[in-house]
């Protein structure tokens, strides 16, 4: 029940952001908002296109990509460059936080500490409007798998 309430809230926030920008709420945009609200991980433009064209076969990849870019620019989606390219995820609108992201499985861990107050000597003339801080590495499962792979590679040499 809690997950459903959270996803419903995320859909609502995404749609409200669209309305504030003057976008007409179409069934396709509602489907796009629902897709991101229910996604547990990151979605590539290809993932989104594949999902959307199942229901809307006439939709072009350019239309999907343009909507992803615009949603990212308005702050609804976060975009990340991971090992296999550009990916998107719904931005958490409820509070400010940052992420640890596994480069292998893309599992994301939230952490509440914000390093911005510790950034030394920002130019006084620069007005910071927003920021993001992600740490990329390997979760414990993937770190163990990488270690085993490296050990197997050494044995093969």
- pLDDT tens readout for residues 4-22: 546 788 898 899 989 999 9
DSSP bridge pairs for 103: none
What are the tens digits of pLDDT across the range 87-140?
898 887 666 777 788 888 888 887 778 888 888 888 888 888 777 788 888 989
pLDDT of residue 3: 44
The CATH classification of domain 95-119+128-157, taken from the options 2.90.10.10, 3.30.200.20, 3.30.1490.190, 3.40.50.720:
3.30.1490.190
Going by the DSSP 8-state scheme, the letter that residue 59 receives in this structure is -
CA 102 to chain CA centroid, nearest Å = 13
Torsion sign, CA atoms 39, 43, 47, 51: positive
**pTM over cut 0.95:** no
Q: Which residues sit in the known binding site?
A: 96, 102, 105, 131, 139, 142
- Is residue 13 within 8 Å of residue 93, measured between CB atoms? yes
Helices (H), ranges, 21-139: 27-38, 45-55, 61-73
Distances (CA, A) of 71 to 17, 22, 65, 94: 9, 13, 10, 17
Specify binding-site residues for Fe cation: 96, 131
CB 35 within 8 A of CB 76: no
CATH topology match: 1-93 vs 95-119+128-157: no
Strands (E), the chain: 77-82, 85-90, 98-102, 108-111, 134-137
Residue corresponding to tokens 């640890």: 100
Q: Following CA atoms 65, 67, 69, 72 in sequence, which dihedral angle do they give, to the nearest 10 degrees? A: -140
Residue 7's pLDDT is 75
Structural fold of domain 1-93: Arc Repressor Mutant, subunit A (1.10.10)
Q: Domain residue spans in the chain?
A: 1-93, 95-119+128-157
Binding positions for Zn(2+) are 102, 105, 139, 142
Instruction: Match 């939230």 to its residue by tokens.
Output: 110
Segment 41-100, tens digit of pLDDT: 889 999 999 999 999 999 999 999 999 999 998 888 988 887 778 889 888 766 677 778
């Amino acid at each position: 029940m809690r997950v459903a309430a959270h996803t419903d809230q995320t859909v609502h926030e995404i749609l409200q952001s669209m309305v504030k920008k003057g976008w007409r709420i179409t069934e396709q945009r509602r489907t796009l908002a629902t897709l991101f609200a229910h996604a547990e991980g990151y979605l590539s433009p290809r993932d989104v296109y594949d999902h959307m064209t199942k229901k809307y076969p006439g939709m072009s990849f350019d239309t999907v990509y343009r909507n992803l870019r615009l949603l990212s620019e308005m702050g609804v989606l976060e975009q990340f460059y991971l090992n296999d390219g550009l990916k998107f995820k719904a931005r958490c609108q409820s509070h400010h936080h940052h992420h640890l992201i596994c480069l292998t499985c893309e599992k994301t861990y939230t952490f509440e500490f914000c390093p911005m107050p510790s950034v030394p000597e920002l130019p006084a003339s620069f007005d910071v409007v927003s920021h993001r801080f992600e740490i990329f590495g390997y979760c414990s499962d993937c770190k163990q798998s990488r270690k085993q792979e490296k050990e197997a590679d050494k044995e093969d040499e």
